[in-house]
């Protein structure tokens, strides 16, 4: 059977894309890739190799696709590769307040990257804010959604771009998934078993070495045996390690000066997103 995806999830990073993917995977009329993030279009295009991420078992599905958050901030190149391979497919994206997204990304990054040791970056203050942006300037750039969304809208048509918001998931998750299922043309009455599972937040790891080992193992498996990722997740090992390493996790202390700097940095971006989405975004402003 020839498998040709009908949708591609493109982002954003640290915005609950894993939660969306699980809801999609559980729908009986949706075939989701294994693993969740193929990252295929980061380096390649062409349908034959791409199809290996989709095992249908001979069944037919109404919607077929994947979700790779790094597709959004690389819009100019990735949108063209997707279009050349799949044609005018549906594009899914979930976003959040870019200031909150940055803080979540910061919590995720420290202790996991050699350049961001937990001991030096355990609080987000003017000094660490400046340092982390010099080490990883794209962490700020990942919150600039508008231009990349416009690139995808121009390529695939605004009508084929479905934007979800993290804040809406927290407020009414069922409404979000029903609108998503309607957009994809699958049964909107289906309620995913994982609907009420907590959207995973970034956390400051209690044991940085354990976190490093967990992530190193994940990337090795993803690079060499991607089909094993989902079975390993079902065993619950990742959740166990996360629970251990997030135990007694204290909320990251963010200095008021940094909160103001983020608000100032993204003020124009948020105004542009209000115009693009045609909604007030009161929880962003």
Confidence band of 99 (pLDDT split at 50, 70, 90): very high
From 31, 49, 19, select the one nearest 173 (Cα to Cα). Answer: 19
More confident residue, 227 or 159: 159
- CB 101, CB 142: distance < 8 Å: yes
What's the average model confidence in pLDDT over 97-112? 91
Bridge partner residues of 165 (DSSP)? 95
Residue 113 confidence (pLDDT): 79
Q: How many Å apart are CA 83 and CA 270, to the nearest integer?
A: 28
Residue 219 confidence (pLDDT): 57
- CB 204, CB 111: distance < 8 Å: yes
What are the start-end ranges of the E strands in the chain? 7-9, 30-32, 63-67, 90-95, 161-165
Q: Is the pLDDT of residue 17 over 80?
A: yes
What's the average model confidence in pLDDT over 86-104? 97
Q: Any idea where the domains of the chain sit in the sequence?
A: 7-204+250-277
* pLDDT, averaged across the chain: 89
HSE, side-chain direction, 13 A CA sphere, residue 215: 15
Residue 41 confidence (pLDDT): 97
Residue 23 confidence (pLDDT): 96
From 248, 167, 236, 258, select the one nearest 204 (Cα to Cα). Answer: 248
What's the average model confidence in pLDDT over 94-108? 95
Residue 179 confidence (pLDDT): 98
Q: How many Å apart are CA 86 and CA 91, to the nearest integer?
A: 11
Q: Is the pLDDT of residue 122 over 90?
A: no
Confidence band of 250 (pLDDT split at 50, 70, 90): low
Residue 218 confidence (pLDDT): 60
SS3 155: helix
User: Which pTM value belongs to this model?
Assistant: 0.85
Residue 102 confidence (pLDDT): 97
Share of the chain above pLDDT 90, in %: 69
Q: How many Å apart are CA 111 and CA 221, to the nearest integer?
A: 21
Q: How many Å apart are CA 187 and CA 124, to the nearest integer?
A: 44
Residue 265 confidence (pLDDT): 98
Question: Which pLDDT tens digit goes with each residue over 181-227?
Answer: 999 999 999 999 989 876 555 556 666 667 667 666 765 765 566 66
Handedness of CA 33, 34, 35, 41 (dihedral sign): negative
Bridge partner residues of 66 (DSSP)? 8
Question: Which pLDDT tens digit goes with each residue over 27-38?
Answer: 999 999 988 899
Helices 256-277, 126-135: crossing angle, 10 deg rounding = 50
Query: What are the C-alpha distances in Å from 285 to residues 79, 98, 269?
Result: 29, 10, 10
Residue 225 confidence (pLDDT): 66
Q: Is the pLDDT of residue 147 over 70?
A: yes
Q: In CATH, which superfamily holds the domain spanning 7-204+250-277? A: P-loop containing nucleotide triphosphate hydrolases (3.40.50.300)
The length of the chain is: 285
């Amino acid at each position: 059977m020839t498998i040709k995806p009908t949708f591609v999830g493109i982002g954003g990073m640290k915005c609950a894309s894993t939660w969306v993917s699980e809801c999609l995977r559980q729908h009986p009329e949706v075939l989701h890739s294994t693993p969740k993030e193929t990252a295929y279009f980061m380096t390649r295009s062409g349908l034959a190799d791409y199809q290996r991420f989709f095992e249908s078992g001979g069944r037919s599905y109404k919607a077929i696709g994947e979700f790779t958050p790094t597709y959004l901030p690389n819009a100019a190149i990735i949108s063209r590769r997707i279009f050349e391979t799949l044609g005018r497919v549906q594009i899914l994206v979930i976003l959040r307040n870019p200031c909150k997204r940055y803080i979540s990304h910061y919590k995720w990054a420290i202790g996991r990257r050699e350049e961001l040791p937990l001991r030096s970056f355990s609080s987000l203050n003017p000094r660490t804010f400046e340092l982390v942006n010099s080490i990883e300037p794209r962490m700020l750039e990942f919150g600039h959604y508008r231009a990349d969304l416009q690139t995808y809208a121009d390529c695939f048509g605004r009508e084929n771009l479905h934007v979800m918001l993290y804040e809406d998931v927290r407020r009414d998750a069922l409404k979000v998934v029903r609108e998503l299922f309607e957009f994809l043309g699958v049964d909107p009455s289906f309620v995913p078993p994982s609907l009420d599972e907590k959207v995973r937040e970034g956390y400051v790891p209690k044991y940085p070495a354990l976190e490093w080992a967990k992530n190193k193992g994940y990337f090795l498996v993803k690079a060499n045996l991607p089909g094993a990722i989902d079975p390993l997740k079902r065993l619950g090992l990742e959740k166990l390690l996360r629970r251990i390493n997030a135990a007694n996790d204290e909320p990251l202390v963010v200095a008021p000066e940094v909160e103001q700097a983020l608000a100032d940095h993204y003020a124009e971006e948020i105004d542009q997103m209000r115009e693009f989405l045609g909604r007030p975004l009161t929880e962003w402003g």
